[in-house]
Structure 1
Amino acid sequence: MRPQEHVHRLKLTLKEAIQLGQLQSVDAAVALNELKTAYWEYRTHRADQLPEVTFSGSLPNYYKRYNKYLKEDGSYSFIRSHSLGLKGELAITQNIALTGGQIALNSSLDFTRQLSDNIYNEYMSVPIGLTWTQPIFGTNHHKWEHKIEPIKYKEAQAAYIENVEDVTLKTISYFFNLLLARENLTIANQNLENADKIYAIAVAKKEIGHLSESERMRLKQSVLQAKGRVTEAQANVNANMFQLRAFLGLSEQDIIDPILPELAPNLRMHYQEVLKKAQENNSFAQNILRRQLEADYEVATAKGNQRSINLFASIGYTGKDKKMADAYQALRDNQVLEVGVSIPLIDWGKRKGKVKVAESNRDVVLSRTRQEQIKFNQDIFLLVENFNNQAMQLEIAAEVDELAEKRYQTSIETYLIGKISILDLNDAQTSKDNARQKHIQELYMFWNYYYNIRSITLYDFLNNRTLDADFEEIIRK
């Protein structure tokens, strides 16, 4: 026989559900991976500003072939080459963000062993060499990256917290869906219980002639309809529980009992305060600044490509000998200075056109960001208005819920003594059910608006603190 699976009932508040969603949901894991990607991109940028130590070499290289040789009279001949070589170089390179150039300090040793009839070894050393590469008039890519990358990472950090808040919004939606489904099941069971009681009384009245057959049949129909609603409500509970359970990463053996949140706090939002918090904390502000800088960078790159002058300078010492130790003696200067120039004389306006395209794209970005800023402000204004109005709607719905429940209980008692009809009783029941559902829906809308504002501002208005995170600790998870 298959062993019975252990069922675990889990009473869950809204706060606990939100914590589980932020820790265990797939959406939270996706947000974390996106943050890690941005983190390592930023770390790569920072590492690019630090000295880099590299070792390169060929260990070994072997040649046995014919090479073309130019003689003094201008004719060519082929000579036999047979050698074994080793080469190693140690270099320290540093990018210069201020100028966009690069400086390198290197040391190398080259060994060759001739393997022809006259076998001998030869060494060439460069004990120390200093190389400087510097573009002139071109785009300083290091400088632009130094501006853009930190903003890009700040944008990613804010986006991570926003994504976590989006997880919160989904959790709230699934939580209240289950809560409403459970409440509908409770209502359906209560209605069925009341319908059974009323029908039992109706049967007794029918036997003594105080109730018509038509009325009895109508009450029997109400009982059957109530049973159907219980079955439908139970199926809805199962579906919504599966959805919330899967989102929170819980086991299928966990039976969730959602707890109705307490009364909403007395909180009123002010548009200017909310807008200020959003502009300070939301990734949107960083996104706007990054896109504008990237557009400026494209213009600068297009202008820099109109002409190109590169300076290359190398100074150091070198020596050679048939013994390795002697190759480091009697050193000689090893200097190179090279200026490379690339200036188009006739390009039929191609490079100028690329500059104009980049400038036009920049103007488009500026126009779009202005439009997006207006819409961003408008959305915040409407969200604040809806939240403030929702507090009143919730208060009204709670009062209507209480009155509808009292009316229904009174209607049952009044019907039993024959002072109202079954239609009046059904109307009271429908009003009671609708009022209860409306109350829960208004409570959901209140918390949905609040967490929407929280996700935009990245600010907890209940505890008066900015939503922040230890990103170094999060990355190490």
Structure 2
Amino acid sequence: MKLLLSKTKLLLICLLLPAEMLFAQQILTLDQALEIAQQNSPSIRTSLLSLERSQQLLKAQKAALKSQFTLSLNPVDYSKNRSFDDYTSTWYTNESYQSYGTFTVAQPVLVTDGTVSLVNRFGWQKSNSTASGVENESFTNNLYLSVSQPLFTYNKLKLELKTLELDLENSNLSYAMQKLNLEKLVTQYFYDVYTAQMSLKIAQDELANTEKTYEITKNKVEAGLSAMEELYQAELNFATSKSDVQNQRVALESAKDLFKQYIGMDIFEEITVMADVNATSVEVDMQQAIKYGLNSRMEIRQREIEVENSQFDLITTKALNEFEGEVNMSIGIIGDNKNLEDIYANPTQNPRVSVSFNVPLFDWGEKKARIKAQEAIIQTRELSLDEEKTQIVIDIRSVCRSLQNQQTQIDIAKQNEKNAQLTYEINQERYNNGDLTGMDLNLYQNQLSTKKMAYAQALINYKIELLNLKIQTLYDFERNEAIFPMEILQPESKN
């Protein structure tokens, strides 16, 4: 039934549009314009690229937490050095040939911010020295397990991962907000084109009435029933109406160009928009609208993310010139032999443990000052969060008041249009009977055109304010259903 009504409305709109606007033009509805904009709009594409950047950075960070396999090869390493031996007070020459490779498996530990590595270094070397007169040639293999663990400092791996997760969440929120903003601006541009079409249609109707009046006046003057001044005024009104039609055509084409540019259409493609501006009155509870807004608005979560990021920066700042340490441990075996198969015939264990500390002594108050500066930033972000909540309440209250006012304006504009139409018909009859001048009739014609546009604009303003309320509260009061950010990101999930 709804589909039948929609098709009937579109058919009626087509019948009301000038014939020249329907041929060789693409007819767009608001839904079609939104679909085109979501695919082609430069602003939404930029937001999508930012979202992709955040997704890929987080994906890369998670990949970096998995085991990393590396292989480094040094197939040729040759050196020949001349050195002096202090013990024997003699010069000697050392010549060395080496070929080796190192295979490493490194596993970051997210819980402790440490790293566990399994390393195997295999190589071949040949060396001789004139000091001993001995030449050595052998294969070597060094296999060991090592652990590196920072001490007394923050977990850098967890902090980096959490920062990127917040960045992705923020990008998702920005994309969802951009889609809502896109809907609002596309709707505004769409109705600008529709209003321009209405203005042209009204100007053409006015031209037709003025031309009819001109012909009647001309016949009366030729028959000697009216003064020549009436014909001069009728000609002036007729010329003014022609000029107004041309001006409205120019305004319409300019509005179309801006609309096509924003939604990403070919600027040279001819289009006509069709809209149903009939507005159904919607009851809105202001307190409930405010509650929806404070619970759902994505800007609040963005401000919370800013606070969290500034707290992370404080953790990093507190780590400046801090007391910290590091433990490095490794254990393994080394084997060497001139025969490859006997490389571990006589292995040697090689345990290693080292503990190091960084002990700051005096930094002239640098760390303390930087911490205070960062704490001031956190307080600023918290104030911004509170201000955002206050602004949301103010905006919602303003939209609710505007909706109530728009309902009143629609009723007034509708009655004014009806009165202007009746007034024009009465005075047109008076003019035909010779009881009214052409100048006076033109005033009534202008009044009718103005009231028709005012009524159409009042309906459009109400629909735009309803959309604005939906964006401000993330609640569709026309359908009585909430809107969630993930539904904005993935509308197909509703199906």
Give the distance between the partners of 1:180 and 1:76, measured in 2 at CA: 101
Which deviates more, 266-275 or 50-59?
266-275
Residue of structure 1 equivalent to 2:102: 88
TM-fit CA distance, 1:472: 8.5
Would the alpha carbon gap of residues 245 and 361 (structure 1) be closer, same or farther in structure 2, given more than 3 Å must change?
A: closer
Q: Partner of 2:199 in structure 1?
A: 184
Q: Does 1:355 align with 2:371?
A: yes
* 1:462 paired to 2:478: yes
Distance, in Å, in 2 between the alignment partners of 1:407 and 1:234 is: 28
Aligned match for 1:112, one of 124, 127, 130: 124
Q: CA deviation at 1:187?
A: 1.5
Paired residue for 2:69, among 54, 57, 79?
54
Residue 170 of structure 1 aligns with an amino acid whose one-letter code is L
Correspondence for 1:386: 402
> Do the aligned residues in 1 keep the contact of 2:304 with 2:385 (CA within 8 Å)?
no
Aligned partners of 1:35, 1:114: CA distance in 2, in Å? 56
**Correspondence 1:243 to 2:258:** yes
SS in 1 for 2:50: helix
Counterpart of 2:353, as a letter, is: L
Distance 1:116-1:170 versus aligned 2 partners, 3 A rule: same
Return closer, same or farther for 1:249/1:420 CA change in 2, 3 Å cut-off.
Answer: same
Matched residues in 1 for 2:445 and 2:302: separation?
Answer: 53
Asked whether the equivalents of residues 70 and 76 of structure 1 are also in contact (C-alpha less than 8 Å), the reply is yes
* 1:257 and 2:282 aligned: no
Q: 1:289 aligns with which of 285, 294, 304?
A: 304
Please tell me whether residue 103 in structure 1 is matched to residue 115 in structure 2: yes
Change (3 A) 1:354 1:266: same
| 1:203-214 to 2 correspondences below 5 Å | 203-214=218-229
1:55 is displaced (CA, Å) by 0.9
Counterpart position of 2:209: 194
Which deviates more, 339-348 or 367-376?
367-376
Cα distance in 1 for partners of 2:369, 2:106 equals 40
C-alpha deviation, 1:354, in angstroms: 2.3
Structure 2, unaligned stretches of length 5 or more? 1-22
Distance 1:175 1:226, change over 3 A: same
Q: Which moved more, 1:26-35 or 1:464-473?
A: 464-473
2:178 matched to which residue of 1?
163
Structure 1: gaps (5+ residues): 1-6
Distance apart, 1:287 and its partner CA: 1.6
Matched, 1:431 2:447: yes
* TM superposition score normalised by structure 1: 0.87
Alignment of 1:393-408 (within 5 A): 393-408=409-424
1:215 maps to what in 2?
Answer: 230
Distance 1:190 1:470, change over 3 A: closer
Alignment partners' CA distance in 1, 2:161 and 2:69: 23
Q: How has the CA–CA distance of structure 1 residues 61 and 349 changed in structure 2, closer, same or farther, with 3 Å as cutoff?
A: farther
Deviates more, 1:338-347 or 1:138-147: 138-147
Contact 1:281–1:457 (8 Å) recurs in 2: yes
Q: Mean alpha-carbon deviation: is it higher for 161-170 or for 108-117? A: 108-117
Shift in Å, 1:223: 0.6
Deviation at 1:226, TM superposition (A): 0.8
Given the alignment of the two structures, is residue 444 of structure 1 paired with residue 460 of structure 2, yes or no?
yes
Distance 2:50 2:468 in 1: 21
CA contact (8 A) 1:268 1:388 kept: no
Aligned counterparts of 2:441 and 2:102: Cα–Cα separation in 1? 96
**Alpha-carbon distance change, 288 to 249 in structure 1, aligned in 2, over 3 angstroms:** closer
Displacement of 1:341 in angstroms is 1.0
State the alpha-carbon separation in 2 of the partners of residues 330 and 262 from structure 1: 92
Would the alpha carbon gap of residues 158 and 358 (structure 1) be closer, same or farther in structure 2, given more than 3 Å must change?
closer
Contact 1:53/1:92 (8 A) holds in 2: yes
CA distance in 1, matches of 2:211, 2:357: 97
Contact 1:109 1:123 (C-alpha < 8 Å) held by counterparts: no
Aligned-partner Cα distance in 2 for 1:316–1:451: 69
Tell me: CA distance 1:82–1:148, structure 2 relative to 1, closer, same or farther (3 Å): closer
Relative to structure 1, is the Cα distance of residues 147 and 277 closer, same or farther in structure 2, using a 3 angstrom cutoff? farther
Out of 142, 149, 155, the residue aligned to residue 164 of structure 2 is: 149
1:421 is aligned to: 437
Q: Give identity over the alignment, percent.
A: 19
Distance in 1 between residues matched to 2:149 and 2:286, nearest whole Å: 51
How far apart, CA to CA, are the structure 2 residues paired with 1:367 and 1:271?
Answer: 25
Tell me by how many angstroms 1:224 deviates.
0.8
Query: Partner of 1:131: helix, strand, or coil?
Result: strand
* Equivalent residue for 1:11, pick from 20, 23, 27: 27
Are 2:338 and 1:326 aligned? no
How far 1:119 moved relative to its partner?
7.0
Is the alpha carbon distance of 1:109 and 1:320 closer, same or farther for their aligned partners in structure 2, counting shifts above 3 Å? same
1:34 maps to 2:62: no
What is the one-letter code of the residue matched to 1:466? I
Worse-superposed segment, 350-359 or 145-154? 145-154
Q: Which amino acid aligns with 1:215?
A: E
1:170-206 deviations in Å (ceiling 9; x for gaps): 2112211211111111112111111111111111111
Match of 2:16 in 1: none
Deviations 1:188-242, CA, capped at 9 Å, x for gaps: 2111111111111111111222211112111111011111111111111222222
Give the Cα separation in 2 of the matches to 1:251 and 1:365.
Answer: 43
Query: Per-residue deviation at 1:258?
Result: 1.6
**In 2, Cα distance between equivalents of 1:442 and 1:70:** 100
Return the alpha-carbon distance in structure 2 between the equivalents of residues 472 and 61 of structure 1. 56
- Quote the offset at 1:53 in angstroms: 1.9
